[in-house]
Amino acid sequence: MHRILSSQLPQYIGETVNVAGWVHRRRLLAKVAFVVLRDREGLLQIVCKESAVPAEEQVVAVTGRVVANEAAPGGVELVEPVFTVLGEAEPPPVELFRPELNASLPMLLDHAAVTLRHPQRKKVFAASAKAVGAFRRALDERGFTEVFTPKIVGSATESGANVFEIDYFGAKAYLAQSPQFYKQTMVGVFERVYEVGPVFRAEPHDTSRHLATYTSLDAELGFIENHRDVMAVLTEVIRAMVGAVEEFGFQAAVPAQIPVLHFQEALKIAGAPEDEPDLAPEHERALGEWAAREHGSDFLYVEGYPMRKRPFYTHPQPGEPRWSNSFDLLFRGLELVTGGQRLHRHEDYLAALNHDTGSLETYLEAFRHGMPPHGGFAIGLERFMARLTGASNVRETTLFPRDLHRVAP
Amino acid sequence: MHRILSSQLPQYIGETVNVAGWVHRRRLLAKVAFVVLRDREGLLQIVCKESAVPAEEQVVAVTGRVVANEAAPGGVELVEPVFTVLGEAEPPPVELFRPELNASLPMLLDHAAVTLRHPQRKKVFAASAKAVGAFRRALDERGFTEVFTPKIVGSATESGANVFEIDYFGAKAYLAQSPQFYKQTMVGVFERVYEVGPVFRAEPHDTSRHLATYTSLDAELGFIENHRDVMAVLTEVIRAMVGAVEEFGFQAAVPAQIPVLHFQEALKIAGAPEDEPDLAPEHERALGEWAAREHGSDFLYVEGYPMRKRPFYTHPQPGEPRWSNSFDLLFRGLELVTGGQRLHRHEDYLAALNHDTGSLETYLEAFRHGMPPHGGFAIGLERFMARLTGASNVRETTLFPRDLHRVAP
């Protein structure tokens, strides 16, 4: 007999059906036992006359009759069950049946194989998958092409710092810190590209928002006027991502126009000294509060960051070479996205690198042979989900995080 | 004025429009010059009265009037053009305007930044992106959830061989050879999962079908009867992928039922000795010819491979422990996909590992706490595209391949 899912149960009232899943909870009362079964769609209640019911986390197939019961979750329950055990289980290291998972962060991560089964944990990653789907769909609809670029590179990408070295058939190679150079190169092929993939940072900082590897949602597009065209695409992407997670109860305010501040104005509003070269975390927090208060927005663009704090491929602000055509997008007072217009003329790259092109020669080939004005952005998926869900640590929105101290499970 | 794309030109006959792209070709005749412009959608012809026209690969914006001309590609052309150069270009290292790119494989790869712009090269990767989109959509429709699992692992996944070692904050770690253990673990959370991402193999073989890193399309599903349920999903996924690339002129025959041979029958048909433990490339070729001849199919399943040639997590064939519930899917006589049913009982893992669980302890946690019968598969994206397009080398269907000798560009 065909297996049905918990969400389909209300369609089968009065019928005998097969369901299957994990024993989420069992409650043994004097004359009756309740089993709550968990499958990929949700939970369902089974009423048992006998006390010989399977243990929590055992995987079972159940044949039973569906009856309406207003008191049951979803208004239906299964009665007269016959259980077949498909997978035995030892008691889980945490109580998965509790509405809130009561576990420390190390416990959560050390036992991720089990703690991720908790409905609250599972929901975060189901939403994350939908957000990524929305990212791709928004770009597909706008003529972007997905690319897959190498994660092993012959030389460090943006700088020599924070790069993982690998033994590459006896020679040295590195893990890509970003697909930056490749996505720019691919603008020369497809004009508009995106990539969803891992990036690697040998991040020596042990903070709640840094990881040694995370999922970067990268996009790059050609034939732009300036970085504002990039921001326009990003705004629609963010709107799509936020829209896609609403079904899970996660919400964020994306106004029709996300407010934009120039870096100089941002410093003033944040109460920072006017010669600060970058925004410190407390400045970002103050700006996030300002955007919420003044514009009802959870997002805020800051554009025009000083050139000296941006990578060499950054395009300067025309007529104001101290400032750049780059931006950050803050989400509730934390940098979520970095982006901007890039240099596109070969000679500008030579000048930016003081003609010391070194290992970047192959990267520069695209620019030697004709590139349009272009720009792009990169969204940190785990950070997006952390801000969205209110998680205080980005490790809570990463399935199996990697950091200075953690390389398992 | 709004930029329009080459594909939209026929809608604007008689109007003055803006287009932009790369100068794909220029032909200077006695009294007229032709410029073929390339944008992300295709090519368009521009007729110039003056001989001062931009050089090949220069990026230009062009304002001109659209006129019908049956002799022009697409039936329209642009006249009275005014060019604005957006990006200068040196002459490309290969002649991109020729219908077929005349370049050796090293030339193709060394200058990928430019050679990928050739319409024939570009088409392969546009099709590849569509195939991946179809992979995801086929699984989304079947209740699968996308996951992102770590590419840095604390211990080698399947075996100690062919693994890249990295310097992980002064300690040793490795690049994941596959998401195998993680996708199985995630079956415990979502029942059905997939991942599209890089896998890493320190492959010492310098062949036309091996790479040091490639894009693996992984799926895993729970609550199966046996490996045949996995094959049923894979068949629909393959059908969707092949369907998605037809618009590019790439075709493959996927019959309603892809033929299935048991390993023992496959050996006979291939004319191999009956005690062979695996299929050699010449056997796979013979089987591919058999499937095409006897079933009109470009695809062929071989199931039941000997347990001793399959990894420890493979589920044996019930009642025939010499054989396994695993399979390969051959595409035109080459292994494209490996899959099968996995062990799901904790005690079966302990037995398979002779109770020497070592670094696999954390992997086994999912099995200790209840797992359903499950299985999955992994498709090599670049190999799929190579078979589909008739490329003789998988490097031709990889944007920036990595192998024993190549780590750039």
Q: What is the ipTM of this complex?
A: 0.98
Please name every residue paired with A167 in a beta bridge, in sequence order, or none if there are none.
A172
Q: How far apart are CA B116 and CA B125, in angstroms?
A: 9
Per-residue model confidence (pLDDT) at position B74: 85
DSSP H helices in B212-280: 227-245, 263-270
List the single best residue of A166, A194, A217, A405 to mutate versus B (max B Cβ within 10 A).
A166
pLDDT in tens, A310-339: 999 999 999 999 999 999 999 999 999 999
pLDDT in tens, A49-77: 987 899 999 999 999 999 999 998 889 99
B246 to chain A, closest Cα gap in Å: 17
Predicted local distance difference test score (pLDDT) of residue A35: 97
Q: Does B64 touch chain A (CB under 8 A)?
A: no
A58 interface with B at CB cutoff 8 Å: yes
What fold is seen in the domain A6-87? Answer: OB fold (Dihydrolipoamide Acetyltransferase, E2P) (2.40.50)
A211 annotated to a ligand binding site: yes
- Judge: A399–B89 Cβ closer than 8 Å, yes or no: no
Cβ neighbors of A83 (< 8 A, separation 6 or more) are A53, A54, A60, A61, A62
Find tokens 């590609």 and name the residue.
B73
Domain B113-397: which CATH class? alpha beta
Tell me whether residues A40 and B402 touch, CB distance under 8 A.
no
In angstroms, the separation between the Cα of residue A183 and the nearest Cα of chain B is 10
For the cut 90, the answer to whether the pLDDT of residue A358 exceeds it is no
Number of Cβ within 10 Å of residue A116's Cβ equals 24
Average pLDDT over residues A178-201: 97
pLDDT value, residue A199: 97
- Per-residue pLDDT at A156 exceeds 80: no
Q: Which residues in chain B touch residue A400, judged by CB atoms under 8 angstroms apart? A: 149-150, 182
Kindly state whether A391 is in contact with chain B, defined as any CB-CB distance less than 8 angstroms.
no
pLDDT at residue number B158: 61
Which is it for strands A213-222 and A374-380: parallel, antiparallel or unpaired?
A: antiparallel
Residue closest to B22 by CA, chosen among B164, B119, B156, B129: B119
What strands lie across the sheet with A192-200, from one edge to the other?
A: A145-146, A192-200, A213-222, A374-380, A334-342, A326-331, A299-303, A260-262
Specify the 3-state DSSP secondary structure of B47. strand
Two tokens, residue A165: 């070295």
For B99-110, letters b (16+ CB in 10 Å) and e give eebebeeeebbb
Whether B215 has its CB under 8 Å from any CB of chain A: the answer is: yes
Sequence spans of domains, chain B: 6-87, 113-397
Yes or no, beta carbons of B197 and A198 under 8 Å apart: yes
Closest residue in A to B382 (Cα–Cα): A148
The reply to whether B6-87 and B113-397 are identical in fold is no
For position A139, what pLDDT does the model report? 98
What pLDDT, on a 0 to 100 scale, did the predictor assign at position A158?
60
**Within the 123-162 window of chain B, which residues sit less than 8 Å (CB to CB) from chain A?**
125-126, 128-129, 132-133, 136, 140, 143, 145-155
Q: Summarize pLDDT for A93-141 with one digit per residue, the tens.
A: 999 999 999 899 999 999 999 999 999 999 999 999 999 999 999 999 9
CA distance B332 to chain A (A): 24
pLDDT score for A360: 87
pLDDT tens for each residue of A197-215: 999 999 888 888 889 999 9
* Per-residue pLDDT band at A160 (split at 50, 70, 90): low
Q: Is A227 in the B-facing interface, judged by CB distances under 8 Å?
A: no
Q: Does A245 touch chain B (CB under 8 A)?
A: no
Residue A401: its chain B contacts at CB < 8 A? Answer: 150
Q: Which residues of B touch A143 (CB under 8 A)?
A: 40
Segment-wise mean pLDDT, segments of 10 residues, chain B, 409 residues: 93 98 95 96 94 93 97 92 97 96 95 97 98 98 98 78 92 95 98 98 88 98 98 98 98 97 98 94 98 98 96 96 98 97 97 90 93 98 98 97 94
Q: Is B210 annotated as a binding residue?
A: yes
Place of tokens 């700088």: A159
Of B52, B64, B55, B51, which is closest to residue B20 (Cα–Cα)? B64
For residue range A4-40, list pLDDT tens digits in order: 999 999 999 999 999 999 999 999 999 999 999 999 9
> Do B88 and A346 make contact, defined as CB atoms within 8 angstroms?
yes
Alpha helix ranges (H) inside A296-395: 346-352, 361-368, 381-389
- Please report which helix (H) or strand (E) contains residue B29, including its range: none
Query: What is the overall mean pLDDT for chain A?
Result: 96
B115 touches chain A (CB under 8 A): no
Encode pLDDT of A372-389 as tens digits: 999 999 999 999 999 999
Chain-centroid distance, C-alpha B127: 9
**CB distance from B388 to chain A under 8 Å?**
no
**CA pair distance B255, A275, nearest whole angstrom:** 68
The answer to whether the annotation marks B239 as part of a ligand binding site is: no
- Residue A177's CB is within 10 A of a number of other CB atoms, namely 20
Position A69 scores a pLDDT of: 95
B369–A57 CB contact, under 8 Å: yes
Q: Searching chain B, which residue's CA lies closest to the CA of residue A86? A: B372
Minimal C-alpha gap between A235 and chain B (Å): 20
Q: Is the CB of B399 inside 8 Å of chain A's CB atoms? A: yes
Of B40, B365, B402, the CB nearest to A114: B365
